[in-house]
Amino acid sequence: MSVFHHEFHGTVLREYDIRGIIGETLQPEDAFAIGRCFGSLVVRANGNKAGAKVAVGYDGRLSSPDLEPQLVAGLRACGIEVLRIGLVATPMLYFASHALQADGAIMVTGSHNPPNYNGFKMMMGQKPFFGPQIQEIGRMARDGDVVPVATEGSDRHVEIMEDYVARVLQDYDGGERPLKVVWDPGNGSGCDVTKALAGKLPGEHTVINGDVDGTFPNHHPDPTVAKNLEQLIAEVARTGADLGIAFDGDADRIGVVDNEGHILFGDQLLIILARDVLKSKPGGTIIADVKASQVLFDEVQKAGGTPLMWKTGHSLIKSKMAETGSPLAGEMSGHIFFADKWYGFDDAPYSAIRLLGIVARMQERLGEVRAALPQVINTPELRFDCDEARKFAVVKEVKDRLAAAGAKVQDVDGVRVLTEDGWWLLRASNTQAVLVARCEASTEAGLERLKALLVEQLVASGLPAPDFSAENAGH
């Protein structure tokens, strides 16, 4: 039996997943190594007993059918039974992991990245697998630290679509009121489940970009970028729809457009969902990441909830939800997590169904609800390059200077600085060599003052001022 050793490219082992460029930084043999190492962790977690099960799914990218068999082979080499879910949305794999009581789960997906990227998202047991655990995969591969196996495992195909759709629809609470809805799964792996759900809901449903195509011919599948929602906005206007719903490439993130064609940002969507959840969960902890508007935290409090600001990152949010018993959480990036009636993972189709129930029960239209929210002026998320070795140091320097100046700072993730005008944020990305910034104020003049404070701190750390010119000041 040959001895197993493998070196990953230095850029692919990220904070929340494994991700790279096909043929450059990510190869099929990486998929085998991930299966071999992750499978070894599962076997060891099971006390080295036989019979461990791991669910595997893949997205609609052109490279996914090449990576998935290699991943399966790596898992089988550990003696594991692999439950092959096929081409699915990432939340469907998470659901399968729960429904089939798997010991682990791996999704082959490039999420919302360009078509030449791909990667792997993982769960160990029913919990997110991230951070040091992902680095451990690299160490195990390098050291050849894997379980020896006398008997190879097995694999079988499992059909999950019908069960998932039935379970999601079980929580639709809009009655029989017909809504007019436009759906845009963006040619991603959520296409089939979108059509299945749309076909079973009351009302009139239009699906655009509904065929899986890993080249993403119509637009990039990232619903947080306004340009990618232009087609959806046009179709909502054409059909006179009540709302439009978009998913990212693997359907774990949602974008929403109201009946007037306005985008509901992640924090605005969370306000609408939280108000509804808090009716049955009064006092519940609603979690949002540090990039969310102050309006969200204020509105959650007004609705009788307990707002909690937490670190950005879907794995970090999921862990915090489990720790606090939170029924609902969300990120500006469109990850929405329901633990109320659901499993606590980020699931865009499920979030869409819950939203549709709310809209069907509302007296007003969605556009009126959005317009009634307190109005603030903010920058979009600003991202600018900063050397990997420098990015966390810059944030610390800024934090130390602010502390010395007696500024009011929330430091749960980077620095969020509160002033009379509003707030500004600077944090280091966990996944890229960039710094992330955002500013929010009640007036244009206040926003300019916040930007100036941000620039002042960046310049003091030897960085150039960010380019604010491409902004589309938001909600």
Instruction: Give me the active site residues, please.
Output: 111
Contact by Cβ (8 Å): 397, 461: yes
Residues 233 and 223: their CA atoms lie apart, in Å, by 12
Q: What is the DSSP string of 298-329?
A: HHHHHTT-EEEEE-SSHHHHHHHHHHHT-SEE
Contact by Cβ (8 Å): 183, 239: no
Backbone angles phi, psi at 237, to 5 degrees: -65, -45
Residues in the chain: 475
Residues 225 and 286: their CA atoms lie apart, in Å, by 25
- The secondary structure of residue 173, as a DSSP letter, is -
Task: For residue 385, count other CB atoms closer than 10 A to its CB.
Answer: 11
- Which positions ≥6 away from 182 have C-beta within 8 Å? 205, 206, 207, 208, 232, 235, 236, 239, 241, 243, 244, 245
Residues 83 and 54: their CA atoms lie apart, in Å, by 6
Residues 329 and 284: their CA atoms lie apart, in Å, by 11
- Which positions ≥6 away from 128 have C-beta within 8 Å? 16, 122, 314, 315, 318, 319
Residues 50 and 437: their CA atoms lie apart, in Å, by 49
- Which positions ≥6 away from 11 have C-beta within 8 Å? 20, 25
Backbone angles phi, psi at 436, to 5 degrees: -115, 135
| Residue 460, token pair as written in the block | 């003091």
- Tell me the HSE value of 20 on the side-chain side, using a 13 A CA sphere: 17
Q: What is the DSSP string of 44-103?
A: HHTTT-S--EEEEEE-S-TTHHHHHHHHHHHHHTTTPEEEEEEE--HHHHHHHHHHTT-S
Q: Are strands 434-441 and 382-385 parallel, antiparallel or unpaired?
A: antiparallel
| Residue 408, token pair as written in the block | 């009011």
CA-to-CA separations, 222 to 215, 217, 266, in angstroms, rounded: 14, 13, 13
CB contact burial 333-357 (16+ within 10 A = b; e otherwise): bbbbbbbbebbbbbbbbbbbbbbbb
Contact by Cβ (8 Å): 109, 81: no
